[in-house]
Amino acid sequence: MEELALAVEGALQSEDPMSFAGLLHPHVTWGAPGSARPPCTTRDQVVTWFGQGRESRSAAGITSRVTEVSVVGDDRILVGMMFGRKGAYQERWQLLGTRDGQIADIRGFEDRPSAVAYNPA
């Protein structure tokens, strides 16, 4: 898990959607916590979303940076990020569930405690 967490951190810091693609399970899902129908259900959809988000943030002058990547339990990775411009930043969190050594589920949160406490089972 530590190796995967380090790879996730490197991919997110590079902001290259293709560097993230190799870490994703072919049937990865990405959505809100508890969403029965997440908007992304494949690797290609997640990579496209990641790339579009990066492009729209850049066009709007919004910067982002990874603030934390840590392993939670046996099969999850917590990612903290800051987004903003000119001193007005917002914190966002993602919890990455893994399967077969790849990221299989991505859920977004507004705060760290909610992300850490999330358990889809």
Domain total for the chain? 1
**Is 113 among the domain residues?**
yes
Residue 35 within any structural domain of the chain? no
96 pairs with which residues across the strands?
A: 77, 106
Q: Domain of 86: which CATH number?
A: 3.10.450.50
Tell me: the pLDDT tens digits for 24-45?
999 999 999 988 899 999 999 9
- The tens digit of pLDDT for each residue in 71-87 reads 999 999 999 999 988 87
Instruction: Output the CA angle 71-85-87, nearest 5 degrees.
Output: 90
User: Model-level pTM?
Assistant: 0.91
Task: Examine residue 16 and state whether it is found in any structural domain, yes or no.
Answer: yes
**52 lies in some domain:** yes
> Encoding tokens for residue 101?
């050594």
d(CA 24, CA 110): 23
